[in-house]
Amino acid sequence: MSWAGPEDIYLSTSLASYLDKKLLVLLRDGRKLMGILRSFDQFANAVLEGACERVIVGELYCDIPLGLYVIRGENVVLIGELDLEREELPPHMTCVSAAEIRRAQKAEREASDLKGTMRKRMEFLDLD
Amino acid sequence: MVLILSLSLPPFSVVYGLSVSPIALVSFAGDDEYTPCCEFRPNITSNYSSFVLAVLIIIFLQLFFSYFKDLVGREVTVELKNDLAIRGTLHSVDQYLNIKLENTRVVDQDKYPHMLSVRNCFIRGSVVRYVQLPPDGVDVDLLHDATRREARGG
């Protein structure tokens, strides 16, 4: 947009300060990707190197390696810089294998689906 | 050469090269031949409503961008459309209202364990639902004046 004044250059929110840093990217579908930012553009499209998806279900988590990722900016919710001196996750969480986390995810999904159908049945009965 | 002046926003007329309001249309003839202004009227009227819509959008982008620029350095809480609420110091903002926060803490930390070590973040403008400000962060009268000024087209 052409009418940004000269002082606005210093204030513009640029991802340049995040280049070559390990980042946490939150996506609109709830996924959490972690990787090193190699490139970006004005739409917040991003290139993540060494990307892995951190799947968290309750107290369990798993890092699934993905490789080189190009993320379309419209799906990006948040890009956070991970502080290397701090713990990335609370200590009570346990790391499990990919297969186990997928099972846990499926169980969680089924539980929420069940909750949804039970609620629908209750609403149909119109108890209150 | 015809120079067309417009009483609407200067950047808008630069982009389109035409006046928004037919009433405000003024054209000056340069050294050579004079082109009558009525030549441009059919183009204006056919796109008038989309011009007005674009102008309104541009006005609001400018107003809130300027407003957030004045809030840099203040502590704000940004609530996102996915219900995540992040408290932090406003570091910078841009024309898309993307927000960069420093010294961030998530409001409900237990629900978002993955955000534990995130201290600085970039938030895409399109996912912001609310920006919660300190009570003394708003000079309401100044904002009212600015809004009235923008709405008038000045």
Span A23-50, pLDDT tens digits: 999 999 999 999 999 999 989 999 999 9
Enumerate the residues of chain B whose CB falls inside 8 A of the CB of residue A11: 69, 72, 92-94
Within an 8 Å CB–CB cutoff, is residue B90 touching chain A? no
Within an 8 Å CB–CB cutoff, is residue A6 touching chain B? no
The CA distance from A28 to A5, in Å, is: 32
Inter-chain touch B100–A76, beta carbons under 8 Å: no
- B33 to chain A nearest CA, in Å? 31
pLDDT digits (tens, 9 = 90+) for A43-87: 999 999 999 999 998 888 899 999 999 999 999 999 999 988 887
Identity of the amino acid at B47: N
Query: Is the sign of the CA dihedral B99, B105, B110, B113 positive or negative?
Result: positive
Inter-chain touch A32–B61, beta carbons under 8 Å: no
The CA distance from A90 to B143, in Å, is: 43
Within an 8 Å CB–CB cutoff, is residue A19 touching chain B? no
Distance set, CA B36 to CA B3, B29, B48, B50 (Å): 11, 9, 20, 24
Report whether pLDDT(B10) > 80: no
Length of chain A: 128
Contact present, A18 and A64 (Cβ < 8 Å): no
Q: Determine the Cα angle at B60 with ends B57 and B61, to 5°.
A: 85
- A96 to chain B nearest CA, in Å? 16
Inter-chain touch A87–B116, beta carbons under 8 Å: yes
pLDDT digits (tens, 9 = 90+) for B37-82: 444 444 555 688 887 776 776 666 678 888 888 889 999 999 999 9
Compute the average pLDDT of residues B78-107.
Answer: 94
Q: What is the pLDDT of residue B61?
A: 64
Note the ipTM here: 0.81
> How many CA atoms lie less than 13 Å away from B12 in the CB half-sphere?
21
pLDDT digits (tens, 9 = 90+) for A86-107: 877 888 888 888 888 889 889 9
Inter-chain touch A81–B100, beta carbons under 8 Å: no
E strands in chain A = 22-27, 32-40, 46-57, 60-71, 76-82, 94-95
Q: Determine the Cα angle at A29 with ends A118 and B81, to 5°.
A: 85
